[in-house]
């Protein structure tokens, strides 16, 4: 039997992805509660400093690009590009403002009904991230976030409401955005806050305890999703920009594999349905003890994620013994002399994309879905447009790599470009770090008309989709 494929499937899911907190704004409108992401000031995005202190800081997510009021105009532009799929998250705080209420907020539910209807009007399939860095801040303050098993119950309640409400509108689901980022960025990714001088042992224990509770919550959501929605598919999502050894020093090679494995640990559990052996050594050597209830492992085993969604932006290199750093693009340490960098210092590596797609398909043998890939750049609006040839080049090279991965035999569900419209950066809180095919007139301090303009890349992506990837 010959399974060789050299083109995109007819139902390949072309499109784009955003998150509620980075786009919607309207942070307290129609009963919405305060979410975690709205508490992160511009430029200080990786540290939770409590509730907003407007006198000292500027909080870009509060208005963002006002997608909440302008979504019809934006969806129309996505439709013009020919999107088949659009990923966004449901802000938990629109539905349960504090997170622990018994009854949902009807006005919040109505907003997503309207948004999904608008997408479906153009035959764009919504893909929903249930939690994208934006949990109710009340759950962090009162319960200590995912360290507390009560969160599993609140999350189940949230899922139950949205699965029932949107069962005829949403088929594609993801439980947690970039769950593996909690390993290095527990504030943002899981609402787990450390004391200034907290020991490594205690930090590690908290991270793995919170992760365990999230694995259970995710598996329960997987189960419930299928009980409520017949043809649903629900996956996990990780940040999987890649890392290479800087040279052939066997120590660098092993350490690089180990860094990667600490990230893949999350999909190892969520897709394979059990804790991998290597983690027990790490726990033992770091004094980590994770509390589990009897039925947890059974739930994790019986209700794994059905597909692996992931973000890929760049690669980095690792030299033996040199500690790596971390941001929204994943691990990084040294520059790779073979690669160019973006305006934000991220190394552009299309071959790394093909490598990663192959790595993930080979490891898991479940459908894989790059749901974030794109170029954040310093765009300049001139005469109502942006000549972003650099973005076209980035996209073209990554799509060629994607096609190669299809020829390599990878089972790929679709491709979602990150930030098809300019939104607030998750890593820095800047507007200036623009990914969009659509420019939004707003600057780093919140000035601007919010008017939308098409960039040159808009037409390029439109042509790619119209030809189903024949004209890359």
Q: Is 373 in the site for ligand BG6 (CB under 6 A)?
A: no
Q: Are 50 and 118 in contact (CB under 8 A)?
A: no
Q: Is 177 in the site for ligand BG6 (CB under 6 A)?
A: yes
Query: Which SS3 state, helix, strand or coil, does residue 369 take?
Result: strand
**Residue 266 DSSP one-character state:** H
Q: Phi and psi dihedrals of 292, rounded to 5?
A: -130, 150
Q: Is 433 in the site for ligand BG6 (CB under 6 A)?
A: yes
- Token couple for 43: 């430029």
Query: Which SS3 state, helix, strand or coil, does residue 29 take?
Result: helix
- Report the Cα 271 to chain-centroid distance in Å: 17
Q: Which of 418, 439, 460, 461 binds ligand BG6 (CB under 6 A)?
A: 418
Q: Which positions from 306 to 325 touch ligand BG6 by CB under 6 A, shown as an x/- string?
A: -----x--------------
Q: Is 425 in the site for ligand BG6 (CB under 6 A)?
A: yes
Instruction: Count the site residues for ligand BG6 by CB under 6 A.
Output: 15
CA proximity to 368, closest of 408, 310, 417, 303: 310
**Cβ contacts of residue 386 below 8 Å, gap of 6+?**
379, 380, 439, 453, 455, 456
Q: Is 213 in the site for ligand BG6 (CB under 6 A)?
A: no
Tokens 């189940």 -> residue: 156
List the interface residues with ligand BG6, window 49-78 (CB under 6 A).
Answer: none
CB atoms within 10 A of CB 381: 14
To ligand BG6, the closest distance from the beta carbon of 131 in angstroms equals 11
Strand pairing category for 330-332 and 325-327:
antiparallel
To ligand BG6, the closest distance from the beta carbon of 274 in angstroms equals 26
To ligand BG6, the closest distance from the beta carbon of 427 in angstroms equals 2
Is 289 known to be catalytic? no
List the interface residues with ligand BG6, window 324-363 (CB under 6 A).
Answer: 328
Q: Which of 24, 35, 178, 388 binds ligand BG6 (CB under 6 A)?
A: 178
CB atoms within 10 A of CB 303: 21
d(CA 279, CA 286): 11
Q: Is 376 in the site for ligand BG6 (CB under 6 A)?
A: yes
List the interface residues with ligand BG6, window 94-133 (CB under 6 A).
Answer: none
Q: Is 19 in the site for ligand BG6 (CB under 6 A)?
A: yes
Query: 3-class secondary structure for 12-27?
Result: CEEEEECCHHHHCCCC
Among 118, 178, 255, 331, the one annotated catalytic: 178
Is 372 known to be catalytic? yes
Q: Is 426 in the site for ligand BG6 (CB under 6 A)?
A: yes
Query: Which residues sit at the interface with ligand BG6, rule CB under 6 A?
Result: 19, 22, 177-178, 239, 311, 328, 372, 376, 418, 425-428, 433
- The residues assigned a catalytic role are 178, 372
């Amino acid at each position: 039997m010959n399974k060789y494929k050299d083109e995109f499937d007819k139902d390949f899911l072309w499109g784009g992805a955003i998150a509620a907190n980075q786009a919607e704004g309207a942070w307290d409108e129609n009963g919405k509660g305060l979410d975690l992401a709205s508490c992160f000031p511009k430029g200080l995005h990786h540290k939770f400093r409590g509730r907003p202190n407007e006198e000292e800081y500027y909080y870009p997510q509060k208005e963002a690009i006002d997608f909440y009021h302008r979504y019809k105009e934006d969806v129309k532009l996505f439709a013009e590009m020919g999107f088949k799929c659009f990923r966004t998250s449901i802000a938990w705080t629109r539905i349960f403002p504090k997170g622990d209420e018994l009854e949902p907020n009807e006005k919040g539910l109505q907003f997503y009904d309207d948004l999904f209807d608008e997408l479906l009007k153009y035959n764009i399939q919504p893909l929903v991230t249930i939690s994208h860095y934006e949990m109710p801040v009340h759950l962090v303050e009162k319960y200590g976030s995912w360290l507390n098993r009560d969160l599993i119950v609140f999350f189940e309640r949230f899922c139950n409401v949205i699965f029932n409400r949107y069962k005829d509108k949403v088929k594609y689901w993801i439980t947690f955005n970039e769950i593996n980022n909690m390993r290095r960025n527990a504030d943002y990714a899981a609402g787990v806050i450390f004391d200034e001088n907290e020991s490594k042992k205690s930090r590690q224990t908290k991270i793995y305890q919170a992760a365990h509770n999230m694995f259970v919550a995710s598996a329960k959501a997987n189960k419930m999703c299928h009980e409520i929605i017949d043809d649903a598919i629900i996956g996990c999502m990780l940040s999987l920009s890649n890392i290479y050894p800087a040279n052939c020093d066997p120590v660098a090679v092993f350490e690089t594999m180990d860094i990667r494995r600490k990230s893949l640990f999350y999909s190892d559990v969520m897709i394979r349905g059990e804790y991998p052996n290597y983690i027990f050594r790490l726990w033992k050597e770091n004094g980590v003890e994770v509390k589990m209830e009897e039925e947890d492992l059974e739930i994790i085993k019986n209700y794994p994620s059905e597909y692996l969604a992931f973000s890929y932006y760049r690669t980095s290199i690792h030299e033996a013994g040199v500690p790596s750093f971390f941001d929204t693009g994943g691990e990084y340490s040294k520059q790779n002399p073979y690669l160019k960098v973006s305006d934000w210092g991220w190394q552009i590596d299309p071959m790394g994309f093909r490598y990663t797609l192959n790595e993930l398909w080979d490891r898991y043998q479940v459908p894989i879905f790059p749901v974030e890939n794109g170029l954040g750049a310093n765009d300049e609006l001139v005469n109502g447009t942006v000549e972003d040839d650099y973005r076209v080049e980035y996209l073209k090279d990554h799509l060629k790599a994607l096609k190669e991965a299809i020829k390599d035999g990878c089972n790929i569900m679709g491709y979602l470009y990150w930030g098809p419209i300019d939104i607030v950066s998750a890593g820095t809180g800047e507007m200036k770090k623009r990914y969009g095919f659509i420019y939004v007139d707003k600057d780093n301090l919140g000035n601007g008309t919010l008017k939308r303009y098409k960039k040159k890349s808009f037409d390029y992506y439109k042509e790619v989709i119209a030809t189903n990837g024949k004209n890359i």
